[in-house]
Amino acid sequence: MVVISVIAVLVALILPAIQQAREAARRTQCKNNLRQIGLALQNYCDLYERFPPGYVASSETTATTPGWGWSAMILPQVDQFPLFGLFDFSLPIEHLLNSGPVAKRIPCFICASDIAPDGTFPISNSASVPVVQAGPSSYVGCVGNDSSDVDDNINPGNGMLFRNSSVRFSDVLDGTSNTILIAERSWAQANGTWIGAPTTGRLRAGTKNSAAPLDEASSFHVLGHAHWINVLDDPDGGLDDFSSLHTGGVNVLFVDGSVRFLHNVTSDGGSANLLQALGTRAGGEITADSGF
């Protein structure tokens, strides 16, 4: 009995350490994903002299058609050129001819700590009618601070990626090391996709989000606001904000290619103001001593 008791105590001591080591490895893999995405975005920018659009919309209204997102645009730069060649970008995401490639799961768009499907998941409209089967994603482009619109041009994004955006390096007046480009948003919190903003599709709350069945506009599938991090009591469920299943914060990619871990932001003032400042490309805010 004494031996069994000793073993039980040792197991109780060792298991948390093993879990912490595994989470540390997953967090590192997530950082590596973001570094790969950052390099891909910089290569895209070298090629086209601008960053890709947050998503492409041919209408001046809130419609997102055809909807192709920034992550679909950089497929050649993340070693997915054969897949990129299968898309017909002149057609909407949800068109039958795009159904095969749209339904792919891209490893570098999934955080190892996230709870995401091994295959595809259905995106449905406001009437819960399926629109398309798509691959999941744990990352979103930064549209700007909380005042930025994602589905029209009335208050266009003041960040790096937004509706029909074409931001250049020279537009980043706040400094590339002080401007967020991509951030985590856990699929378990908000069921986003890497493909873009399917027409009439709604972003649904995930299984780890107590706000279900709340939903958001389709454009939030690939975009998010720099406002909150891992907020639990936001009336909209934090669907438009950054989140992760890491303890205490999220990994964030900055325009200069650096990846940093930013701590949770769940209340107004202080860190929330600083996070919103980091979300803008030319707001003129002072973020040198941001506390992150």
Number of domains in the chain: 1
Amino acid, res. 209? N
- Neighbouring CB atoms inside 10 A of 126's CB total 9
- Residue 224 pairs in a beta bridge with 142
d(CA 225, CA 168): 20
- Neighbouring CB atoms inside 10 A of 118's CB total 7
In this structure, is residue 14 part of a structural domain? yes
In this structure, is residue 39 part of a structural domain? yes
Q: Is the pLDDT of residue 6 over 60?
A: no
In this structure, is residue 286 part of a structural domain? no
In this structure, is residue 287 part of a structural domain? no
In this structure, is residue 288 part of a structural domain? no
For 207-218, what is each residue's pLDDT tens digit? Answer: 999 887 889 999
Q: Is the peptide bond before 53 cis (omega within 30 degrees of 0)?
A: no
Question: Quick one: tokens of 81?
Answer: 């050129």
Q: What is the mean pLDDT of the chain?
A: 91
In this structure, is residue 209 part of a structural domain? yes
d(CA 45, CA 16): 43
In this structure, is residue 292 part of a structural domain? no
pLDDT at 288: 66
In sequence order, which residues have a C-beta less than 8 Å from that of residue 151 and are 6 or more positions away?
62, 64, 163, 217, 218, 219
d(CA 214, CA 244): 19
Specify whether the CB–CB gap between 172 and 178 falls below 8 A: no
- Residue 265 pairs in a beta bridge with 229
In this structure, is residue 119 part of a structural domain? yes
The angle at the Cα of 200, spanning 197 to 50, to the nearest 5 degrees, equals 25
The angle at the Cα of 209, spanning 208 to 210, to the nearest 5 degrees, equals 115
Question: Quick one: tokens of 205?
Answer: 């709350």
DSSP 52: P
Cα–Cα distance list, 171 to 48, 74, 226 (Å)? 15, 20, 18
> For 235-261, what is the mean pLDDT?
95
For 73-100, what is each residue's pLDDT tens digit? Answer: 999 999 999 999 999 999 999 999 999 9
For 104-134, what is each residue's pLDDT tens digit? Answer: 999 999 999 999 999 999 999 999 999 999 9
Q: How confident is the model at residue 185 (pLDDT cuts 50, 70, 90)?
A: very high
pLDDT at 28: 96
For 190-203, what is each residue's pLDDT tens digit? Answer: 999 999 999 999 99
d(CA 152, CA 16): 47
Question: Quick one: tokens of 167?
Answer: 């931001």
d(CA 78, CA 69): 15
Residue 43 belongs to what domain range?
2-279
d(CA 88, CA 91): 6
Name which of 279, 145, 128, 134 is nearest 192 in CA terms: 134
